[in-house]
Amino acid sequence: MNNAQIVELGKKYVMNTYGRLPISLVKGQGARLWDADGREYLDFLAGLAVNSLGHCHPKVVDALQQQAATLLHVSNLYWIEPQVQLAQVLVENSFADKVFFCNSGAEANEGAIKLARKYAKKTWGSDKYEIITMEKSFHGRTLATVTATAQPKYQKDYEPLPQGFRYVPFGDLKALERAISPHTCAILVEPVQGEGGVNLAEPSFWQGLAKLAAANKLLLIFDEVQCGLGRTGKLFAHEHYGVTPHIMTLAKALAGGAPMGALLATDDVANAFQPGDHASTFGGNPLVAAAAVAVMDVLLNDGLMDNCREMAAYFMGHLRRLQEKYPFITEVRGLGLMVACELDRPGADIVANCLEKGLIINCTAGNVLRFLPPLIINKADVDEAVAVLEEVLASVVAADAANAASVADAASKANTFSAATAKLVPTGGQSQ
């Protein structure tokens, strides 16, 4: 089938929950994708930070093929060897002592909310249940995680929402301190806000956050679903700030495209969960766990985080040059290869025009161009992406100039008409 045929069938049979672009991507290799019409694209979105190793990385493909030919699935009523291996790698390379596996970032955050509340009730009493989250955050689409997501646009029409969440501006320590109540048990925060617009807080915020949590006996939960696993140039984004959570959530890049999430915690906190308290039928099954073991091997041993830092500096330099040239880019920001250009206008048309020219990016928060390329990109890839982006931005300038000229021409014609009309109106005396 071609793009048009797939789109037509999709509109007929698939629920309308996405504003999908009118192509179907059917093949990938490295940082490249191809659609059903055979057209090639440079991927600077990586499946929303999922394909951090690029598409069809040979080590991940090999792991999936071998595991698929051996054992696809058994339940978590039994020990699963690849899952145990993955847990060991995650623990040995993080603050955590134990891991729970699930299928997505939303499930990982749902599990984190449950774990925090259960730990708090067992440790501090039944009145400890409240979790503080940040404005412009994004934590998932379940009822609990969409409530934790402090953005009304995601919550609309799902009321009544679960109780027990309070919101403060991201990076505002004073507001955070004021929000702490006798019922507060945890603070849930993204080290870099992704869906909210690639927002960063000052380093002092993170130090103050850790002090507030310690002083008030609160659990720190870091949502690293999008910003974790090498995306920022370190394995975990919180490592940039010198703070350590009690609970951390991962997903997206963890299994290289296979659906997987993880909830990590210190022993003290993890022990609040006992058999029967939480579960996931597919969580960490042999197939996805084997893929994730391969992903972690590549991340830790193939120099991807060094490449991420190098390419991030190179890419951001180009974007700042574009910002100087195009004033409607109001800010360039990011950490590692989690990068954004904020605009003074909506960005959807720019995304669509980039796609038409073979570059895949996206727009979040309405006016923020977001770039999440695979960590394997090189300077030639960056140069190609920047060339396409600059061509599209130049067309925006041309369109602005044409619109301004059209408005000026209309105003000039209106003034001419008004002047001509004025000559026809008597200027003095009365009619006889």
* pLDDT value for 401: 80
Which amino acid is residue 345, in one-letter code? R
C-alpha span between 339 and 389 (Å, rounded)? 14
pTM: 0.93
Token pair for residue 74? 């058994």
C-alpha span between 335 and 231 (Å, rounded)? 8
- Among 100, 138, 170, 315, the active-site one is 138
Task: Enumerate residues 6+ apart whose C-beta is below 8 A from 130.
Answer: 164, 165, 166, 181, 183, 184, 185
C-alpha span between 185 and 59 (Å, rounded)? 41
User: 165 and 143 in contact (C-beta within 8 Å)?
Assistant: no
User: 66 and 290 in contact (C-beta within 8 Å)?
Assistant: yes
Domain with CATH 3.90.1150.10 in the chain: 3-56+304-394
Q: Does the annotation mark 252 as catalytic?
A: yes
What is the third-level CATH fold of 3-56+304-394?
A: Aspartate Aminotransferase, domain 1 (3.90.1150)
* pLDDT value for 423: 63
User: 225 and 108 in contact (C-beta within 8 Å)?
Assistant: yes
* pLDDT value for 399: 86
Token pair for residue 424? 């026809």
C-alpha span between 103 and 282 (Å, rounded)? 7
Which amino acid is residue 43, in one-letter code? D
Q: Does the annotation mark 165 as catalytic?
A: no
Ranges under pLDDT 70 in the chain: 405-414, 416-432
Nearest of 314, 372, 295, 346 to residue 90 by alpha carbon: 295
Looking at the DSSP assignment, which residues form a beta bridge with residue 165?
Answer: 131
| 138 annotated ligand binder | yes
C-alpha span between 334 and 338 (Å, rounded)? 5
Residue appearing with tokens 């044409």: 402
User: 102 and 263 in contact (C-beta within 8 Å)?
Assistant: yes
* Residue 429 three-state SS: coil
- Among 165, 252, 273, 381, the active-site one is 252
| 106 annotated ligand binder | yes
Looking at the DSSP assignment, which residues form a beta bridge with residue 342?
Answer: 331, 368
Element (H, E) at 398: helix 379-423
* pLDDT value for 431: 37
C-alpha span between 172 and 213 (Å, rounded)? 14
| Peptide bond just before 160 cis, omega within 30 deg | yes
| 105 annotated ligand binder | yes
Looking at the DSSP assignment, which residues form a beta bridge with residue 55?
Answer: 30
Nearest of 312, 429, 325, 430 to residue 379 by alpha carbon: 312
- Among 35, 43, 223, 381, the active-site one is 223
| 141 annotated ligand binder | yes
User: 252 and 338 in contact (C-beta within 8 Å)?
Assistant: no
Residue 79 CA neighbour count, 13 Å, CB half: 4
Please give the C-alpha separations between residue 346 and each of 194, 366, 388, in angstroms, as whole numbers. Answer: 18, 6, 18
Looking at the DSSP assignment, which residues form a beta bridge with residue 361?
Answer: none
Q: What are phi and psi of 403, to 5 degrees?
A: -65, -40
C-alpha span between 301 and 85 (Å, rounded)? 16
Q: Does the annotation mark 12 as catalytic?
A: no
CATH of 58-301, one of 3.20.20.70, 3.30.420.40, 3.40.640.10, 3.40.50.720: 3.40.640.10
| 225 annotated ligand binder | yes
Q: What are the tens digits of pLDDT across the range 95-135?
A: 999 999 999 999 999 999 999 999 999 999 889 999 999 99
* pLDDT value for 430: 40
User: 163 and 105 in contact (C-beta within 8 Å)?
Assistant: no
Q: What is the DSSP string of 119-181?
A: HHHHHH-TT--EEEEEBT----SSHHHHHHSB-HHHHTT-PSPPS-EEEE-TT-HHHHHHH--
C-beta neighbour count of 169 within 10 angstroms: 14
Q: What are phi and psi of 13, to 5 degrees?
A: -115, -15
Looking at the DSSP assignment, which residues form a beta bridge with residue 150?
Answer: 135
C-alpha span between 49 and 142 (Å, rounded)? 20
Domain with CATH 3.40.640.10 in the chain: 58-301
Residue 46 CA neighbour count, 13 Å, CB half: 28
* Burial bucket for residue 96 (CB in 10 Å: 0-12, 13-18, 19+): buried
